[in-house]
């Protein structure tokens, strides 16, 4: 991919190194050849609206040689299976949120006590209970998670958009459709499955935004964007050893496809943080 400004080349990037393109600047133009090349590599193009929230996606027609069979299985999957999978995802997300608190030296008991309370399908909305406790402990009592607000909220928006794009690519590479969600049901959301599967990865972005704030960063700028984008390449521990976040996302999407096809009953998720007491210190992915 060649990047130009005023007809002068400013960058050249290998197409195989591109996970996704996030377009947030005014006056951008793209060549058809580039869009085709991105589609061939399952690399989505995300067009941003104000405050760095996605307004449009471009994804390929076919992303896997078993796509038709896997999408058939995805459509035919049972409600009980979806509820079981969602329970696992919510528990993993809360565990990673507890890991963020632990890295800040905050007691994790307030979150870890909720994990065994998550039932199939999370009918009690334990995910929301955890969020209500998590945000003030991690970001301060004055913080309110609102996508329309600037500052750390805009940073979170951008970081989540990167994770969402990477998750969408993994989903398409696994031969699944990103609109067919497990839990999210918004009829105008084309990325419901991406929103489902990225939940356990959100805390990695949260920790990075917290670190950026500690370094004095309060608004989105080019350096902040680079740091947030690099979270997709940060290392996380898994059952197979340490792997980049993107690799863990691919493993998760593939394991979901295998669930749909009846080949397994568990999800391949990043390892849960290990706690040695209520406020054990751990290190989550952070980009220098």
| pLDDT above 90 (res 18) | no
Both tokens of 73, joined, read 């299985």
Angle made by CA atoms 241, 243, 246, in degrees to the nearest 5: 145
Both tokens of 108, joined, read 């994790």
Rounded Cα gap, residues 230 and 219, in angstroms = 17
At 62, the pLDDT band (50, 70, 90 cuts) reads low
At 53, the pLDDT band (50, 70, 90 cuts) reads low
Look-up: residue for tokens 């406790």? 133
Contact predicate 169/60, CB 8 Å = no
Both tokens of 170, joined, read 């993994």
* Per-residue pLDDT at 71: 93
Mean pLDDT of the chain: 88
Contact predicate 163/58, CB 8 Å = no
Rounded Cα gap, residues 46 and 162, in angstroms = 9
Residue 64 DSSP class: S
Question: In terms of CATH, what superfamily is 63-260?
Answer: CRISPR-associated endonuclease Cas1, C-terminal domain (1.20.120.920)
Question: Regarding beta strands 53-58 and 8-12, do their DSSP bridges make them parallel or antiparallel, or are they unpaired?
Answer: unpaired
Rounded Cα gap, residues 5 and 223, in angstroms = 19
Rounded Cα gap, residues 174 and 62, in angstroms = 10
- Average pLDDT, stretch 2-12? 87
Residue 129 burial (CB count, 10 A): 16
Q: Which backbone phi and psi does 46 adopt, to 5 degrees?
A: -115, 125
pLDDT tens readout for residues 112-139: 999 999 999 999 999 999 999 999 999 9
At 282, the pLDDT band (50, 70, 90 cuts) reads very low
Those residues with Cβ within 8 angstroms of residue 82's Cβ, 6 or more apart along the chain or in another chain: 121, 182, 183
Residue 281, classified by CB atoms within 10 Å of its CB into exposed (0-12), middle (13-18) or buried (19+), is exposed
Look-up: residue for tokens 């890991």? 99
Counts for the chain of helices (H) and strands (E), in that order: 10, 7
Model pTM above 0.85: no
E strand residue ranges, the chain: 2-5, 8-12, 21-23, 45-49, 53-58, 235-238, 241-244
- Average pLDDT, stretch 268-276? 85
């Amino acid at each position: 991919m060649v990047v130009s400004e005023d007809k002068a080349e400013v960058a050249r990037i290998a197409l195989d190194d591109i996970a996704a393109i996030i377009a947030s600047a005014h006056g951008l133009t793209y060549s058809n050849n580039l869009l085709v090349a991105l589609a061939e590599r399952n690399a989505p193009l995300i067009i941003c609206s104000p405050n760095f929230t996605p307004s449009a996606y471009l994804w390929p027609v076919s992303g896997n040689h078993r796509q038709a069979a896997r999408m058939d299985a995805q459509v035919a999957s049972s409600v009980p299976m979806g509820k079981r999978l969602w329970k696992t995802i919510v528990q993993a997300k809360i565990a990673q949120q507890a890991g963020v608190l632990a890295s800040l030296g905050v007691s994790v008991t307030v979150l870890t006590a909720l994990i065994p309370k998550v039932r199939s399908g999370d009918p009690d909305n334990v995910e929301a209970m955890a969020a209500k406790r998590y945000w003030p402990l991690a970001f301060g009592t004055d913080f309110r998670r609102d996508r329309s607000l600037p500052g750390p909220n805009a940073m979170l928006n951008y970081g989540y958009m990167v994770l969402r794009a990477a998750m969408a690519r993994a989903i398409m590479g696994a031969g699944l459709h990103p609109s067919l969600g497990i839990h999210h049901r918004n009829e105008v959301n084309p990325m419901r499955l991406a929103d489902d599967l990225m939940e356990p990865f959100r805390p990695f972005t949260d920790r990075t935004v917290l670190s950026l704030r500690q370094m004095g960063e309060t608004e989105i700028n080019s350096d902040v964007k680079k740091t947030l984008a690099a979270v997709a390449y940060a290392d996380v521990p898994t059952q197979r050893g340490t792997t980049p976040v993107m690799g863990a996302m691919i493993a998760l999407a593939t394991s979901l496809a295998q669930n749909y096809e009846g080949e397994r009953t568990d999800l391949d998720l990043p390892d849960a943080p290990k706690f040695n007491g209520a406020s054990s210190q751990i290190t989550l992915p952070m980009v220098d």
